[in-house]
Amino acid sequence: MSRTCISCGMPMTIPEDHAAGDIAREYCRHCATENGDMASFEDTSRRLAERVQQTTKVSEADALRTVVERLIELPAWRGRS
C-alpha cells in the first residue's frame, strides 16, 4: 500500500500516514485539520514554506514561492494560481 498525498505529495505507506489513519483519505496526516478534513491551500502552503525555510535557510518569500509552484501541480490544487 503506497499512495501519495494529493495535497503535499508525501508518500503514504502505512495507515498512520493518512489523515486520521483512514486509508480511504487521499491526503496525509500533515495536511489534515484536527477534525480530519483536508487543510486549506493557505494553511498547507504556509506549513510547507516554514519547513523549507528551516531546512534551506531561504527567505520566507522564496520558500513560499517554491512551495506554491510545487503545490499547484498536485491533484488537490491543480489549476490554482
**pLDDT tens digits, one per residue of 20-29:** 999 999 999 9
Q: What confidence tier does 43 reach under pLDDT thresholds 50, 70, 90? A: very high
The tally of CA atoms less than 13 A away on the side-chain side of residue 49 is 18
Task: Locate the DSSP E strands across the chain.
Answer: 3-4, 11-12
d(CA 58, CA 38): 27
Mean pLDDT value of segment 24-44? 96
Mean pLDDT value of segment 28-53? 96
Whole-structure pTM over 0.85, yes or no? yes
CB 45, CB 68: distance < 8 Å: yes
Beta-carbon contacts of 12 under 8 Å, excluding residues fewer than 6 positions away, are: 2, 3, 4, 5, 18, 28
pLDDT at res. 80:
80
